[in-house]
Structure 1
Amino acid sequence: MRRALAAVIALSLGGAPIGVFLMLRRMSLVGDAMAHAILPGAAIGFLLYGLNLLAMILGGLTAGFLVAILAGVVSRSTGLKEDASLATFYLASLALGVTIVSVKGTNIDLLHVLFGNILAMDDQTLLVVACNATITLVVLAVIYRPLVIESVDPLFLRTVSRAGTPAHLAFLALVVINLVSGFQALGTLLAVGLMILPAGIAKFWSRDISGMICAAVVSAIISGYAGLVLSFQTRIPSGPAIILVAAVLYIASVLFGSVGGVVRQLFPGRHLEA
């Protein structure tokens, strides 16, 4: 449980800010596509070394980077939209990964790959997750400015700077890194949950990007802690429990959020009068 809590905190610190930018750039479904794209690499690692976490993580990183780079190059060099190119690559990757795991392993192995098991995390895997979170925060600090500008006005960024394309590719790489970090904890199907749901929660509590990032990180940590406690007290698996708690927080934010919440819109505060 201590390792699982440390992993959740690291995943929250690295993944929640990425989720905010995915939401601002209208790429939320891209994150889900990339989560499936890492499956064949992880499956090849499983095929060669069994349930060796390091081999599966390295394989997932390789496959995710390959899909991200190919999709980015295709969308930038052709008229095909990025979501369409990603959909093509991720569907092929998902089919290939499920085929590899099904041929080599059992249904239990397939469930482990798809849904993860955060309580089985060892020190080596926890160290990899922590390193990925550190890399994410450092790279985000470097590309923060072009990311914010491109999220608000991409055309303006193209006219004043050439940093848009490198920042975009670096951002896709960070998406892959954090999805691979969440692979062991939540599996390929739920790895994107700690990125997108906290970002959606933060949208209802702050209008400022930095405020949204802070709110997303805090809500992700709360979801992880409460989900682990819920899993410990009940028979609910830890990964789905974490995502379910985040979903409950999201619904509460939709209803009671200070920025665009349903209750706030029904009962707005009194405006200042001259």
Structure 2
Amino acid sequence: MTAYELLLQPFAEFGFMRRALVACAALAIGSAPMGTLLVLRRMSLMGDAMAHALLPGAAVGFMLAGLSMPAMGAGALVAALLVAVLAGWATQVTAQREDASMAAFYLIALALGVLILSLHGSPVDLMHVLFGSILAVDDASLLMVAAVASATLLLLAGLYRPLLAMCVDPGFLQSVGGHTRVLHLGFLALVVSNLVAGFQALGTLMAVGLMMLPAVAARFWARELWGQAAVSAGIAMVSGVCGLLASYHLRVPCGPAIVLVAGALYLLSLGLGPRDSLLARHAALRHHRTA
């Protein structure tokens, strides 16, 4: 098999592969930088919780309009935002921490979504909503993913300094007149928007994978936030391309293939990255012993 047949032929011959490639690129440049902010704020698991919170809204959209991505995406957006608002409300009116409230509400949402899909759909429909099908992305879904990615980049560029201050020292941001609560809610809305965009292609269970795994891996390669965002976007893009090629040649589901490639790159970064990896720590220990 030549390099052309291995790497380029699937994208040259099939329009659905080209659309999937563009969707992966848009998700990479939008979702992965958001993942770096979640990691910096120690909110990695909250991203997973919010991804699961998409399910009941997507299930209601499916129940009303079938496998219509615009309807399911709109329902998923409303459901995830509702879960985020309810978790924030529970945190304000009780002594419970936000992560505990989020875990409670997302588990309720996840169970409710599975129940709705089980009652009003088939096992195939359930698998489609949970794991997605990036090879079936249509033009409307592709435009939505591209629009969310573009808006994310513009907002991150415009709000870079206050977002960085909120991640590193929210007390300082509040002391200089920053609207931390509004910024936090806007940040959560942006995370949800990117998860909904990822849901269009990868399903509710896989969408968070392309957001978080590249972001976690990037910390082993870059120190500054902007560097981590760039590296995470690159890792997400490589994961998308390699996952699509693996799906095409090996006849495996594309969503899990993409996330597994991202997981493999994370393990590679954990072992060999230049910053705080196993190799870097071993080298630093050897240097300390010989000094």
| TM-score, normalised via structure 1 length | 0.95
1:172 Cα deviation (Å)?
Answer: 0.3
Deviations 1:145-177 (A, max 9, x none): 222112111222222223211111001001110
Between the aligned partners of 1:141 and 1:165, the Cα distance in structure 2 is 20
Correspondence 1:126 to 2:142: yes
Matched, 1:188 2:204: yes
Residues 199 and 212 of structure 1 are in contact (CA less than 8 Å); yes or no, is this contact kept in structure 2?
Answer: yes
Matches within 5 A, 1:74-113: 74-113=90-129
Kindly indicate whether the alpha-carbon contact (under 8 Å) linking 1:204 and 1:253 is maintained by their aligned counterparts in 2: yes
SS in 1 for 2:221: coil
Q: Distance in 2 between matches of 1:53 and 1:186?
A: 12
Matched, 1:114 2:126: no
Separation in structure 2 between the aligned mates of residue 132 and residue 224 of structure 1, nearest angstrom: 18
Instruction: Give the Cα separation in 2 of the matches to 1:138 and 1:77.
Output: 34
Deviates more, 1:93-102 or 1:62-71: 62-71
Q: Which moved more, 1:183-192 or 1:216-225?
A: 183-192
Q: Does 1:164 align with 2:204?
A: no
Q: Find 1:267's aligned residue among 265, 274, 283.
A: 283
Residue 56 in structure 1 maps to residue 84 in structure 2: no
* Inter-partner Cα distance in structure 2 for 1:171 and 1:107: 34
Determine whether 1:248 maps to 2:260.
no
Instruction: Please say if 1:257 is aligned against 2:264.
Output: no
- More deviation, 156-165/7-16: 156-165
Deviations 1:117-137 (A, max 9, x none): 100110011011111111212
| AA of the residue aligned to 1:73 | W
Runs of 4+ in 1 over 6 A off after TM superposition: none
- 1:220 correspondence with 2:236: yes
Contact 1:36 1:188 in 2 (8 A): yes
CA distance in 1, matches of 2:273, 2:111: 39
- 1:40 corresponds to which residue? 56
Cα displacement (A) at 1:270? 6.5
Q: Following TM superposition, by how much is the alpha carbon of 1:75 offset from its aligned partner in structure 2, in angstroms?
A: 2.4
SS class of match (1:267)? helix
Gap regions ≥5 residues in structure 1:
none
State the secondary structure of the residue aligned to 2:223: coil
CA contact (8 A) 2:81 2:189 kept: yes
Q: Give the secondary-structure state (helix, strand or coil) at the position aligned to 2:159.
A: helix
CA contact (8 A) 2:213 2:262 kept: yes
CA distance in structure 2 between the aligned counterparts of 1:55 and 1:63, rounded to whole angstroms: 12
Query: Which one is further off, 142-151 or 217-226?
Result: 142-151
**1:78 Cα offset (Å):** 3.8
For residue 82 of structure 2, the aligned residue among 53, 57, 66 is 66
Structure 2 CA distance for aligned equivalents of residues 158 and 241 of structure 1 = 43
Aligned pair partner of 1:137 in 150, 153, 158: 153
TM-score with structure 2 length normalisation? 0.90
Give the superposition deviation at 1:140: 2.0
Q: C-alpha distance in 2, partners of 1:166/1:80?
A: 21
CA distance in 2, matches of 1:141, 1:264: 32
SS in 1 for 2:222: coil
1:13 partnered with 2:9 = no
Deviation (angstroms), 1:52: 0.9
Provide the identity percentage: 54
Secondary structure in structure 2 of the residue aligned to 1:191: helix
Matches of 2:263 and 2:178, distance apart in 1: 38
CA distance in 2, matches of 1:237, 1:102: 22
The CA deviation at 1:204 is 0.1
The alignment yields a C-alpha RMSD, in angstroms, of 1.4
